[in-house]
Chain A
């Protein structure tokens, strides 16, 4: 954009050329940080040690791939993001980044991240990253999000792949542990997002996004939260019985799952009037705790990978010496 045209745009809309930070926002840095953390854990708990430089490069390219899918999501969803309070300030709906720029950045970073991960690590990991980007940008964003209330259930798979990719970067193959780490995030996603939908319902209604709260109402959503939370528990505990688990992980998992189930039970029991009266206090607390829940489980995996935890594990026959 030339100076003069930018000046005119400035005068008309209060926005001009995008700054560097606007492009960073396009990559959804908060989602990226979760991807980096879970992928790093997947990589570090794997039984194969990588050169630190290879590990760093792999994590950077996985993060770039996640950012690319975020940019593609913002390009496609700009029309509904504009309608929702939570997303209206994103760079594309706010007018700071042109839709074409978001698309270009998303496509370019997708290609770059997949090719570089293939060269840095292996092509199975690169293939999984490519599939994750495709799944998030096409299957979830373009198809499921606007067509079914099961959008975040199936779409949640995209967010569940990073630890599996991290594991494949280190080992070159998919194993039970990688599948269970995937399953943990996959099963955690629905209660996490439905709790958000309970107190952000008006946003989704306005944008005509068929979230469960919009299509089936809050009572059904509350029932779904408790059902998925109960289904999540055996997965979360089950991972603890594999080679990446141990007594520390199990202790953490039992406590976190007990609190999570209690929160889901409170949400289920709550009448809508009570929730409205206190501004969805319980739902908001459950949503915030869900982040700590996921972080806690993956942090416990990391602890189990330390030599200290290995010596502790040797005392318990279930995990072997």
Chain B
């Protein structure tokens, strides 16, 4: 049986796998970040329910005149 050394082929393969996985994770983060920016830039209601009643996000509570659809 060959001795396990620092330069063993197994270590190279394992290093390659770790680098590959690292790059995939970084790409995933970049993708989700970019997607978030794109969705936020597109506008729309950003406010959401926050455990208390918020008239600002209730369409029924909006004034009838001058409202925007």
Contacts and interface: CB of A to CB of B under 8 A. Distances in A.
Q: Do A and B come from one complex?
A: yes
A120 interface: yes
A56 B31 contact: yes
B42 interface: yes
A48 B37 CA distance: 20
B27 to A, nearest CB: 9
A60 interface: yes
A17 B35 contact: no
A4 B1 CA distance: 10
Contact of A3 (B4, B34, B37): B4
A293 B57 CA distance: 52
B2 interface: yes
B29 interface: no
B1 A53 contact: no
A119 B35 CA distance: 10
Given A7-B2, A7-B4, A56-B31, A17 B10 contact: yes
B51 interface: no
B20 A3 contact: no
A20 B38 contact: no
Interface string A51-91: 11110110010000000000000000000000000000000
B20 to A, nearest CB: 3
> Size band of the B side of the interface?
20 to 34
B10 A60 contact: no
A272 interface: no
Interface string A33-45: 0000000000000
A100 interface: no
Nearest to A60: B31
Nearest to A1: B10
Contact of B38 (A6, A23, A54): A54
Given A19-B16, A19-B17, A54 B10 contact: no
Contacts of A6: 10
A4 B56 CA distance: 64
A1 to B, nearest CB: 9
Interface of B: 1-2, 4, 8-10, 13-14, 16-17, 19-21, 31-32, 34-35, 37-39, 41-42
